[in-house]
Amino acid sequence: MALKRVKGSIDRIFDKSLQDLVRGIRNHKSNEAHYVSLCVDEIKVELKQENVAVKANAVNKLIYLQMLGYDISWAAFNIIEVMSSPKFTFKRIGYLAASQCFHSETDVLMLTTNMIRKDLGSQNFFDAGIALNGLSCFITPDLARDLANDILALMTSSRPYTRKRAVLISYKIFLCYPEALRPAFPRLKEKLEDPDPGVQSAAVNVICELARKNPKNYLSLAPVFFKLMTSSTNNWVLIKIIKLFGALTPLEPRLGKKLIEPLTNLIHNTSAMSLLYECINTVVQVLISFTSGMQDHGSSIQLCVQKLRILIEDSDQNLKYLGLLAMSRILKTHPKAVQAHKDLILQCLDDKDESIRLRALDLLFGMVSKKNLMEIVKKLMIHVAKADGSQYRDELISKIIEICCQNNFQYITNFEWYISVLIELTRIDGSSSHGGLISSQILDVAIRVKSIRQFAAHQMATLLENAHALMSQLHRNGMEEVLYAAAYICGEFAQFVESPDCLIHAMVRPRATTLPSHIQGVYLHNIMKLYAVALKRAEDTDDKGVGLTQSLQEKLPIFIQSSNLEVQERASCILTLLKYIEKLQNKGLFEVDEFSCLFKGELNPVAPKAQRKVPVPEGLDLDAWINDPPSSSEDEDAKEEQKMEYERSYNDFYSPTSEKRREYSQEELNKLREERMVEQANNPNYLMSKKAEGYMNPDEESEAGSINLDISVPLHVPGLPSSDRYFKMEQDRRRRQRAERVVKKKKAKRGKHGRKREEQEEPEEEEDIAPVHAVEIVNEEMPEGAVKTDSEDENPSFDPHKALDIDLDSPLTASEALPKPKHRESAKLIIQEPEKKEKPSKKKKHKKEKKHKKKHHSAPVESLLVDEVDVDRTVNGHQHQHVDQQDAVQVKKEKKEDDLSFWLNDSSEKVEEPVVNGVAVEDDKATQKSSKEKKRNKKAKKSKRKSPEVGETPPPSEPQIQMSRYTVLAENKDMRIEFETRCIPRQEKKITVSCVFSNLSSSFIKTIEFNVLDTLNTRLIRDGGNLSHDAVQIPFSLPPSARNECQLEFTASSVTMPQRLKGTITYMVQDDTKQHTNQEKLDFKLHLPCSAYLMSTPLSSDRFTKLLSSGEVTDKASYQFNNTDMSLESMLQKLCFYIKFAVVEQIGNSASLYSSSIQKHHVCLLVKSVGNGISIDGKSDNSSLLSNIMDEVKMVGKT
């Protein structure tokens, strides 16, 4: 033995220390992985040694490796070994390793519960400290549940060091185990007034974190926090509290009113930027929460904006960034205040840091008005031109467009200007992704603003004629997308195009074939529209358009060669049509009007969601089969056949020798085309939606036809307007308008003088800027009867904080007590489902309770709160000066209202009092004050101690669920027991009986024992090999009118017969005086029906039919309910709920149901409603089970 020890220590000399490992890794930079794998092998050997020191050293090395990214999860068990070492040094290493590499899926964590509990309770408070540290990193729901009580106990530890940690970690506990929040909350609240400031701040941290997610539950704490805010000097805490208020104010505007003053004081006085920033944020939040017009808070806004301006002007980039961020918050509600600083924000666009520039852009977005839109966009255009980095440029372009089109083009007064801006954007060099965006904007404007169509058509025609300028950049950017819009606009509004023939010629240039195919498609289609107009105009000339027809026929064949089907098809259609027209023209029979009516009718914009909003007509079931569903057996063959057939016909149709195409006569062709045109015209998706074009494969062409073009084309196209020109024009126009207005105003009567002055304060009312054109913005079409829903696209996501949305004001019930370690197993059972099920009913009760409680107990709480009102009113820092004078006043007011609203409402009245009382009085009473205050504090503590006790009086306990499987097992004057049976998945012979014990008496009930007389078939499972007649201890006692649930397990060897078990419950009733206890007894009969062994098992209809046809289920039984008024639906509901069937399929007025027993018996039911009755046929593989189930069905049907 001694030898072994010596050998061990000699070995240790050769072990690598941590230092060696670190140094070694640094020396093996080239083959680190190899070196590490060697080290890991060594470590594995070390871990096998018995010496804890060696193990700890090995684990320490592992931590380092883990940090470098190597997997050490294989050592989880060794880490636990080291954690359990009694020596602090090793324990620390173990916990550190655990906190670094354990996570909720680490299965060995299950082993640690007791060890952690031991460490938490350790004498050495450092042990508790490291245990808490570690736990904060690897906590799991299981650990949280099992250790919640211990942590809660640590919150009252005598050492601030431990208290603080316990408080902080409680947040993690709540997250993992929300049920702990309510029982722990009173204690957490106490910690807000802990003597140690560190603990206080920890509690503030935790509550802030909780409240941020579910603020409404913490509103009642506002007075406490208010007091803390006015008394604390710790900026870290202040920041948290102020942030918390920021979350609370939206819920309670009166709170904001109270906050404004102290916050503005802080803003004026603090030198800490972080605090200043937080204050501004919360003030902004407060101001947002005010409904407009209620008060004038211009001064606070001004203050905030001024301070933010200082931040933005600061050379520190961080402050600049945050300033802009906060500005954007103000902007939402007070745009005017921010707009004054436009210059500053425009400056920020030049900043080096992209995040600052992007923030500034965001701000500009909200700052635009009719007045400054053009100016801002002009500045942005300059930035686009000189922006470096394509990402930022993209962002700029999309922002410009966003700014202009926001709110349905609200701020645009001159659409000609907007169109020219868009055209200018197409000429920006090197932008990549916004061609589509610009294109859709142009389309949108042209279609929806009727008065701009002529202008747009002109511009687009120019653009098309100069398409080479755009296409020269073709392979670098996506700007050719704009040609799509251009072609469409020119075609659709062809009547405005000056010379359609020239345009047509421009469009059929061979170069057009290098465009993406979906654009070519649109080209072709719109050439036809232009052609129609051109013919119409040529009607009076000698030519009559024959020349055009001919030249078109010459040019079009290049499109027929396109590899894109769509283009090919359109081109060949058009060509055929042209040939036909030429024939007619030569004969002199051609009617232009007939031809142009092909393109009659106007297209209206359709709202993007319109299709989805079309209401489903009554009587239309979209899920129903139109034809009979294909039978499953022949499925494969049929499909195969179909496929063959399809292929054959496909080949027939498309084979080059096919004659089919010629089978259509020209007239038919015409007709077909007309139909298609009409259909396309009526089809909103045809032009607007990207999706519809998906099949055209936009990118296909761009590669195939890559032609190197000379780039020396001037980018500025003569004849295209410059947006600057419009900007200047607009300026002039406005100047003129203003002059006119001034003249008018002078003429105006003086009667409205007062109102006018208000207007003049803000120079130039926005509404006064009249748009250049009479703009009629057409709204997007929506189907009739569409319902407006904005939140359609929200998809619910998982949020752990939702679970923490718990009403904290309602009193605690006994069932909510945290599980105690003693009864761990039974406690576990209690926590499961039943809690959740009862919740809805419980909550209601809590609310009632709450109101009730407020009436009775608000008085003591109030006096507490009123003190704080005074505290904040004193400005001099003598915070408790006026308290005693106030007492008298308070007493009178006390009973008026409930606490919080009282605190919030009466502040204004209070203000006057201290002023009246004056300073002289204060000094006299300075000595008395302290003693009185102490008294009050005592009072306060008492009332606080009371509140949790009050909380424990639980609500009366009738279950209010409408359908409940719980049935009364036994009842007497003291107690009622209800029970429900549950099956345990994958347990063939066990079921659980869940009993709810309700204390009906006013005394304490304890030592409850439960016993039944086992039968041969059914036995109660007793723990730890207890004899078959021993009673089972129920692991809880019941305070007056409390209820709790306990689960007992039974074995059943056969499940085909119902069982009745005789049993007794014994319990002790404690007198109110706590001196006598009486033993009482309650007999019962536990009825376990066959349905207790059934598990609702979902089954597909296929498998159901298979089962029925397999011959397995041979036993039959049936029953008919005559003259029953129960509907099929409610029958099914009852069967599913009480007898645990699952509906397999419901067709018309019959339904098939299925369930299986825990021993895998099948039970099938067919439920049909016949006349005014319901017939039920059952099938099963066990006749006795079936007949018993049918008996139950009868019972259920009759109740």
Partner 1 sequence: MIRFILIQNRAGKTRLAKWYMQFDDDEKQKLIEEVHAVVTVRDAKHTNFVEFRNFKIVYRRYAGLYFCICVDVSDNNLACLEAIHNFVEVLNEYFHNVCELDLVFNFYKVYTVVDEMFLAGEIRETSQTKVIQQLLMLQNLE
Chain contacts with partner 1 (rule: CB under 8 A) = 18-19, 22, 26, 60, 63-64, 67-69, 71, 73, 88-89, 92-93, 96, 100-101, 103-105, 126, 130, 132-133, 136-138, 161, 164-165, 168-169, 171-172, 198, 202, 205-206, 209, 212, 234, 236, 239, 243, 273-274, 277-278, 317-318, 320-322, 352-353, 355-356
Q: Which C-beta is closer to partner 1: that of 63 or that of 404?
A: 63
Helix, coil or strand: residue 1081: strand
Shortest distance (Å) from residue 241 CB to partner 1: 12
Shortest distance (Å) from residue 319 CB to partner 1: 8
Shortest distance (Å) from residue 75 CB to partner 1: 13
Candidates 417, 427, 479, 471; CA nearest to 449 is 417
Q: Which C-beta is closer to partner 1: that of 315 or that of 791?
A: 315
Instruction: Sort strands 1115-1121 and 1173-1180 into parallel, antiparallel or unpaired.
Output: antiparallel
Shortest distance (Å) from residue 235 CB to partner 1: 8
Shortest distance (Å) from residue 488 CB to partner 1: 39
Shortest distance (Å) from residue 386 CB to partner 1: 18
Q: Which C-beta is closer to partner 1: that of 272 or that of 1136?
A: 272
DSSP state of 775: -
Paired strand residues for 1170: 1173
Q: Which C-beta is closer to partner 1: that of 284 or that of 1163?
A: 284
Q: Which C-beta is closer to partner 1: that of 234 or that of 596?
A: 234
Burial, 501: exposed, middle or buried (Cβ in 10 Å; 0-12, 13-18, 19+)?
Answer: buried
CA-CA-CA-CA dihedral for 254, 258, 264, 269, to nearest 10? -150
Helices (H) and strands (E) in the chain, counts: 49, 15
Q: Which C-beta is closer to partner 1: that of 88 or that of 646?
A: 88
Shortest distance (Å) from residue 5 CB to partner 1: 22
What would the two tokens of residue 883 be? 């308290």
Helix, coil or strand: residue 371: coil
Instruction: For residues 170 and 166, give the distance between their C-alpha atoms in angstroms, rounded to a whole number.
Output: 6
Q: Which C-beta is closer to partner 1: that of 136 or that of 947?
A: 136
- The structure tokens 């009730």 sit at 852
Helix, coil or strand: residue 1015: coil
Shortest distance (Å) from residue 212 CB to partner 1: 7
Compute φ and ψ for 1027, nearest 5 degrees: -70, 160
Shortest distance (Å) from residue 281 CB to partner 1: 8
Q: How does 680-704 read in b/e, with b if 16+ C-beta sit within 10 Å?
A: ebeebeebbeeeebeebebeebbee
Instruction: For residues 658 and 1196, give the distance between their C-alpha atoms in angstroms, rounded to a whole number.
Output: 70
Are 811 and 952 in contact by the 8 Å Cβ rule? The answer is yes
Burial, 34: exposed, middle or buried (Cβ in 10 Å; 0-12, 13-18, 19+)?
Answer: exposed
Shortest distance (Å) from residue 39 CB to partner 1: 16
Q: Which C-beta is closer to partner 1: that of 73 or that of 604?
A: 73
The letter for the amino acid at 309 is R
Q: Which C-beta is closer to partner 1: that of 124 or that of 649?
A: 124
Shortest distance (Å) from residue 61 CB to partner 1: 10
Burial, 14: exposed, middle or buried (Cβ in 10 Å; 0-12, 13-18, 19+)?
Answer: exposed
Instruction: For residues 161 and 158, give the distance between their C-alpha atoms in angstroms, rounded to a whole number.
Output: 9
Shortest distance (Å) from residue 312 CB to partner 1: 12
Q: Which C-beta is closer to partner 1: that of 129 or that of 1178?
A: 129
Q: Which C-beta is closer to partner 1: that of 101 or that of 812?
A: 101
Instruction: For residues 423 and 417, give the distance between their C-alpha atoms in angstroms, rounded to a whole number.
Output: 10
What would the two tokens of residue 856 be? 């009775």
Candidates 921, 843, 907, 832; CA nearest to 870 is 907
Q: Which C-beta is closer to partner 1: that of 209 or that of 416?
A: 209
Which contiguous run of DSSP H or E holds residue 502?
helix 500-507
* CB count in 10 Å sphere of residue 262: 17
Shortest distance (Å) from residue 1058 CB to partner 1: 48
Q: Which C-beta is closer to partner 1: that of 298 or that of 800?
A: 800
Q: Which C-beta is closer to partner 1: that of 161 or that of 686?
A: 161
Burial, 410: exposed, middle or buried (Cβ in 10 Å; 0-12, 13-18, 19+)?
Answer: middle
* CB count in 10 Å sphere of residue 208: 22
What would the two tokens of residue 342 be? 């436009």
Shortest distance (Å) from residue 15 CB to partner 1: 17
